[in-house]
Amino acid sequence: MVVLLGVSIFIIYPPSKKTKLGLDLQGGLEVILQAKGNVTSDQMDQAELVIRNRVDKLGVSEPAISRQGSNQISVALAGVKNVDQATALIGKTALLQFMRVDQDLTGQVASGTLPPNKIPADKLLLYQTLKDKDGNVIKDKNGQPERQPMVVDKTPLLTGDALSGASLGWDQFNRPKVNMNFNDAGAKKFADVTDQLATQGAITGQVQQMAIVLDGDVQSAPTVKDKISGGQAEITGNMSLQEVKDTVLVLQTGALPVTLDTIDKNEVSATLGQDSLRQGLIAGTIGLAVVMIFLVFYYRLLGVVADLALIIYGVFFYAALTNPWHPATLTLPGIAGMILTVGVAADANVVIFERIKEEVRKGKTIRSAVSSGYRKGFKTILDANVVTIITALIIFSLATAGVKGFALTLIIGVVISMFTAVLATRAMLGLLANLRLFNSPALMGIKVKKAEAQ
């Protein structure tokens, strides 16, 4: 017991170790994403994997990403600073397409001679947002972004499936750009389509354009004068560094197999999180103090033993949460679970103490009463705690991230409370049973007259 206690204290207080805090305690973002239309379980699994990869690249520590129902994904990001950026990235479809520009129809739409609703069925009307040299969106006199219309063939020449990777680069004007690398099949197909566009331009005398479209927005529309081989392409233009980084990230992690809408978003400030942590710890401290005072008041010397067992329980419990192999992330529901397990740990001692008192009233010696009381009380403790653990396991399997923390701390606390009640309390009672002072019924919370009457 002493060795275990020492190891637990070392785990809790190693050099420079900090307890990990969850979203509700250190602030961050929690969003619920819902898929559009009919989706399959495999599509949702793939979407969850893509989102997890994107979050990992954002550098978020211990994200909580889980499925909710058949078409929703919950994403909790603790410590996120740029909430808008994170929200945009995790739900971005990242559908990349290379599309041929119909320059004649584009010119007619731009001049107003072709209404947008008269676009042929095999064509699409897309827009490219205009930006200045610093990557800032250019706005019109009404404050709306200026967009340049572009008519493209509905069938893409190439899609993002042909990519093997993407990276940040710089053009000849020292502006950030997106470098794209194709896989073997994509490189061959890209060479073929650029060769066709170059040939068509040579025949018609009009240099062809190929629009690079990401999620329905034209990123750039370079001209194609020659066949492009080598398996590389790039997105250039007046883009900010952050915009390029975000584009690279979504291209690296692949496209989402479904379209996701944000149906709920909850931002938690760091200040609110710290207030919640402080209030939770205060509540826990007060609760523990009240329980310990009550035990001493009602059970006298047995209460002191129970309080020592609670302290040992607390050390073991916190060591289990902060272990270096798989540390738990502390959340507000988790703190609630910790507070509840204090009562569970005290309850185990109460059951045993009542049994011991009954045996003493029957005239047994303290040593005999301790042995008999543990034997009779343990089954009751075991039955109650098993029911609690089963309930907590059901909650853990069905609940979302926050409630899972409550269930986890409850399970850990119940298991450790049984351990301390059986070993720690019994070991201390076994040592004290040999002391003359411990043989006084009054010091055990038993009324002397009632004890004598028996």
Q: What is the DSSP string of 20-33?
A: -B-HHHH-EEEEEE
Half-sphere exposure of 232 (CA within 13 A, CB side): 7
pLDDT-derived band at 2 (thresholds 50, 70, 90) equals very low
Burial class (CB in 10 A: 0-12, 13-18, 19+), 153: middle
Identity at 56, one-letter amino acid code: D
pLDDT at 101: 94
Q: Is the pLDDT of residue 390 over 90?
A: yes
**How is domain 28-92+261-268 classified at the CATH fold level?**
Alpha-Beta Plaits (3.30.70)
Residues of the chain with CATH 1.20.1640.10: 2-15+269-453
pLDDT averaged over the chain? 79
pLDDT-derived band at 448 (thresholds 50, 70, 90) equals very low
Three-state SS for 63-75 is CEEEEECCCEEEE
How are beta strands 217-220 and 208-214 bridged, if at all?
antiparallel
Q: What is the pTM of this model?
A: 0.52
pLDDT, tens digit, 9 for 90 and up, residues 40-49? 888 888 788 7
Whether 181 and 234 have beta carbons less than 8 Å apart is answered as no
pLDDT-derived band at 396 (thresholds 50, 70, 90) equals confident
pLDDT at 137: 79
Report the distance separating Cα 351 and Cα 383, nearest Å: 12
pLDDT, tens digit, 9 for 90 and up, residues 75-133? 887 777 777 777 777 777 677 889 999 999 999 999 889 998 899 999 999 998 888 77
Reading the block at residue 124, the tokens are: 């699409």
Composition of the chain by helix, strand, coil, percent to 5 = 55, 20, 25
Q: Is the pLDDT of residue 15 over 50?
A: no
Report the distance separating Cα 266 and Cα 336, nearest Å: 21
| C-alpha Rg value of the chain to the nearest Å | 34
Whether 119 and 151 have beta carbons less than 8 Å apart is answered as yes
pLDDT at 454: 40
Identity at 446, one-letter amino acid code: I
Report the distance separating Cα 119 and Cα 151, nearest Å: 8
pLDDT, tens digit, 9 for 90 and up, residues 182-222? 999 989 999 999 999 999 989 988 889 999 888 788 888 88
Q: First CA to last CA across the chain, in angstroms?
A: 37
Locus of tokens 């502390």:
330
**Residue 116 DSSP class:** G
pLDDT at 255: 67
pLDDT at 437: 65
pLDDT, tens digit, 9 for 90 and up, residues 424-447? 777 777 777 677 666 666 666 666
Q: What is the CATH number that goes with domain 96-240? A: 3.30.1360.200
Q: Is the pLDDT of residue 157 over 80?
A: yes
Q: Is the pLDDT of residue 139 over 80?
A: yes
Residues of the chain with CATH 3.30.1360.200: 96-240
Whether 91 and 153 have beta carbons less than 8 Å apart is answered as no
**How is domain 2-15+269-453 classified at the CATH fold level?**
Multidrug efflux transporter AcrB transmembrane fold (1.20.1640)
Locus of tokens 């609940």:
399
What 3-state class would DSSP assign to 225? coil
Identity at 357, one-letter amino acid code: K
**244 to 47, 149, 168, 238, 239: CA distances (angstroms):** 23, 22, 7, 10, 6
Report the distance separating Cα 187 and Cα 183, nearest Å: 6
Whether 307 and 295 have beta carbons less than 8 Å apart is answered as yes
